[in-house]
Amino acid sequence: MTAGVVLPTQQLDEVEQHLSYLYDKTGATCVLLIDISGQLISYKGSAESVDLASLAALVAGDMAAVTEIARLVGERDQFKLLFHEGEKHNVLVSTVGGSFLLAVIFKTSVRIGLVRLFTRETATRLLAVAERFEASRGLVAQVVDADFTTSLAGELERAFGLRDEAWGA
């Protein structure tokens, strides 16, 4: 099970600005930033009758399935863009680094080329946020691993009365 994503306030503010930009430029119904495990990070727009948590999970699952399709057909990397065309709404999903997905829900009357252009631009801008997040997550994992190992060793020594002398050191 993956831990929930928590972005620092400055990074979240940056995400909000980029989502607002995309929302305003495209006339989308809703834009969402989702982590790859399906957790909704942030969104802009109206989502009155939509369960955004479920939508986020389904978008992440969809991308996971398409990633496997890419592998099966011999693609070296995952597909970077998904497009679902409906009668009233379309959904465009773009990868943002290795940690996030950017989903845009828009009416069929909105031009797909416009949405693709601004989605690509926004995904590129969000890549800097994603890279900082991925780098900080790696550092946290290293610190937690080191602290946990040291703590565990200390507790085992205390619990079993083991000391360095017992090992001849």
Q: Got the DSSP string for 108-131?
A: TTS-HHHHHHHHHHHHHHHHHHHH
**Interval 26-57: pLDDT, tens:** 999 999 999 999 999 999 998 778 899 999 99
Residue 141 pLDDT level (bands cut at 50, 70, 90):
very low
Task: Name, in order, each residue with C-beta under 8 angstroms of 115's C-beta and a sequence gap of 6 or more.
Answer: 26, 28, 90, 92, 104, 106
Query: The pTM is what?
Result: 0.76
**Interval 100-125: pLDDT, tens:** 999 999 999 999 999 999 999 999 99
Q: Smallest Cα–Cα separation from 20: which of 31, 35, 10?
A: 31
Task: Examine residue 140 and state whether it is found in any structural domain, yes or no.
Answer: no
| 12 against 148, higher pLDDT | 12
Residue 154 pLDDT level (bands cut at 50, 70, 90):
low
Task: Examine residue 76 and state whether it is found in any structural domain, yes or no.
Answer: yes
Q: Taking each helix axis from N to C terminus, what angle separates 9-26 and 112-160, rounded to the nearest 10 degrees?
A: 160
Task: Examine residue 123 and state whether it is found in any structural domain, yes or no.
Answer: yes
For the chain, what is the domain count?
1
**Interval 52-77: pLDDT, tens:** 999 999 999 999 999 999 999 999 88
Task: Examine residue 142 and state whether it is found in any structural domain, yes or no.
Answer: no
Domain that holds residue 74: 9-135
According to the model, what pLDDT value does residue 156 have? Answer: 55
47: domain CATH number is 3.30.450.30
Task: Examine residue 149 and state whether it is found in any structural domain, yes or no.
Answer: no
Determine the average pLDDT of the residues in 11-36. Answer: 94
Determine the average pLDDT of the residues in 137-160. Answer: 53
